């Protein structure tokens, strides 16, 4: 069994060896694999770095960042937002899900993710010299049930039995805890800002027991959004200062994204980054190139509101855990976006302490997933993990009200039930509408399922006793 971090930008696989988690190098010798899938004109499928290298000449058939859309519907606001800077084509599936269209063929997002998982699976099999059939896969803490199920589906398509889905910041906390076994009785906050999602989790660590106290986040906030702010600025510069009305061609979107990523990386160590986007247009007088300098101050101004969007989930997580900022002993930073300018300042603002950088931002989650495989298989005997539910689970009741059954941040496994009744005399059927979310109005939450309960014996309203129970396993 292996542990897999299926990331928005990069993915990683790890395994337990002699009680120690080890990252497995891929076939190119790298410790992480870009979560990118390319399809060539002659029908070949490319995954990882080789797909990334050919993206400029094949942008419409090179798919990336789909984790942000997995488990969502095509008509969702997130899908609409993603299409602004996406060079490949998103289309609706017959059931309303998001599909990617490449060369006349439509692929589901679990299928695209399965191609990345297959590459990680092959790398693990090469390293272990034996078949790999089971895995623990991590997901953002605030993924809802459809997003978690779609991730499981990706694993199954890749030929993996997904033994468990665990939350990414919880996995990172396991990796941190294994490195700090001398410490106990402390509260740890894991601030995980990745390529496409943000999570915050607060745990209590005591004598090998890892108990998640609360979790929160935003499943559509990450490094891609920061890159796209730079891309938008560059497009504005083209139009307003150079008089160019630049068509958002797939090749241009790829060049702008590469330039934005490069500038963001440079601004972690320098005050100004020079951006060059070649061959924006061409005419009889020659080619036009865009050259601009982006200062760190400009970057922080462009992205300030994005970073501030991480503040409210952190404050709510503290409140849900019944803690104040000064109760937190360590704030562990993970996720590739932790390196970006401004992140450390916001963490200091929230928790009023210096963050801990001891974990690899790109490997910590996979290492934690591997540790969880060791716990399940009995190889790791001194650690116990108690995780919590993501958003609240409940049903729709009279007048469109959302009635919670299992509140967010309930320790799992758990089972809760409530007794309901009819709203009309001689009512013989009721519809049970299951939802997930935090709004008091059912229409504002995520619909998970609907089913009919029939053959209720006729009786005056309010007399039938209908018990509805939910159970969440690990």
Q: CA dist 116 to 38, 73, 106, 120, 149, Å?
A: 11, 22, 17, 6, 17
DSSP 24: P
**Helix (H/G/I), strand (E/B), else coil: 130:** coil
Provide the 8-state DSSP code for 92.
E
Whether the bond between 211 and the residue before it is cis, its omega within 30 degrees of 0, is no
60, 153, 168, 330: the active-site residue: 168
Tokens of 65: 């960042």
Kindly state the DSSP code that residue 354 receives in the 8-state scheme: P
| 119 part of the active site | no
- Cβ-based neighbour number of residue 413 at 10 Å: 12
Annotated active-site residue in 97, 192, 227, 362: 192
- In the residue annotation, 446 being an active-site residue is answered as no
User: For residues 86 and 74, what is the distance between their CA atoms, to the nearest angstrom?
Assistant: 14
**What's the rounded Cα separation, in Å, for the pair 199 and 397?**
31
Question: What's the Cα-to-Cα distance from 300 to each of 169, 255, 271, 340, rounded to whole Å?
Answer: 25, 22, 11, 10
Catalytic residue among 5, 225, 228, 387: 5
Q: Which of 52, 60, 67, 330 is catalytic?
A: 67
Tokens for 412, please give them.
């799992």
Token pair recorded at residue 147? 């997003």
- Alpha carbon distance 69, 91 (integer Å): 12
Beta strands in 103-229 (DSSP E): 105-108, 134-139, 161-167, 186-193, 198-206, 209-218
**Is 192 known to be catalytic?**
yes
* H helix and E strand count, the chain: 11, 25
Q: Is 152 a catalytic residue?
A: no
d(CA 352, CA 395): 39
What's the DSSP call for residue 336?
G
On the 0-12 / 13-18 / 19+ scale of CB atoms within 10 A, 347 is: buried
Q: Which residues are catalytic?
A: 5, 67, 168, 192
């Amino acid at each position: 069994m292996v542990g897999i971090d299926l990331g928005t930008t990069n993915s990683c696989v790890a395994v337990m060896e002699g009680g120690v988690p080890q990252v497995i190098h891929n076939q190119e010798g790298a410790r992480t694999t870009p979560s990118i899938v390319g399809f060539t004109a002659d029908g070949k499928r490319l995954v990882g770095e080789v797909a990334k290298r050919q993206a400029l000449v094949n942008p419409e058939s090179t798919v990336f960042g789909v984790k942000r859309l997995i488990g969502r519907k095509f008509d969702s606001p997130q899908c609409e937002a993603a299409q602004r800077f996406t060079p490949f084509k998103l289309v609706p599936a017959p059931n309303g899900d998001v599909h990617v269209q490449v060369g006349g063929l439509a692929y589901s997002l679990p299928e695209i993710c399965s191609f990345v998982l297959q590459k990680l699976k092959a790398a693990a099999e090469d390293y272990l010299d034996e078949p790999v059939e089971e895995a623990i896969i991590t997901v953002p803490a605030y993924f809802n049930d459809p997003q978690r199920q779609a991730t499981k589906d990706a694993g199954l398509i890749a030929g993996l039995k997904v033994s468990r889905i665990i939350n990414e910041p919880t996995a990172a906390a396991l990796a941190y805890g294994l490195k700090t076994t001398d410490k106990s009785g402390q509260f740890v906050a894991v601030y995980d800002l990745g390529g496409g999602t943000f999570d915050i989790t607060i745990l209590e660590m005591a004598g090998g027991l890892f108990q998640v106290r609360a979790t929160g986040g935003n499943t559509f906030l990450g490094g891609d959004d920061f890159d796209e702010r730079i891309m938008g600025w560059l497009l504005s510069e083209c139009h307003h200062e150079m008089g160019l009305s630049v068509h958002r061609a797939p090749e241009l979107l790829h060049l702008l994204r590469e330039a934005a990523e490069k500038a963001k990386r440079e601004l972690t160590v320098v005050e100004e980054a020079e951006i060059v986007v070649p061959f924006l247009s061409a005419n009889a007088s020659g080619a036009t190139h865009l050259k601009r300098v982006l200062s760190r101050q400009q970057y922080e101004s462009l992205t300030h509101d994005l970073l501030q969007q991480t503040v409210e989930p952190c404050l709510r997580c503290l409140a849900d855990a019944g803690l104040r900022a000064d109760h937190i002993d360590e704030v562990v930073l993970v996720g590739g976006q932790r390196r970006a300018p401004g992140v450390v300042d916001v963490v200091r603002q929230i928790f009023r302490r210096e963050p801990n950088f001891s974990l690899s931002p790109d490997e910590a989650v996979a290492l934690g997933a591997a540790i969880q495989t060791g716990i399940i298989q009995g190889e790791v005997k001194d650690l116990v993990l108690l995780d919590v539910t993501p958003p609240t689970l409940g049903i729709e009741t009279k007048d469109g009200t959302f009635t919670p059954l299992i509140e967010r941040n309930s320790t799992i496994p758990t089972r809760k039930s409530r007794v309901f009744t009819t709203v009309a005399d001689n009512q013989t059927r009721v519809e049970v509408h299951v939802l997930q979310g935090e709004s008091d109005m059912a229409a504002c939450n995520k619909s998970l399922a609907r089913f009919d309960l029939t053959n209720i014996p006729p009786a005056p309203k309010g007399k039938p006793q209908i018990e509805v129970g939910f159970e969440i396993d690990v």
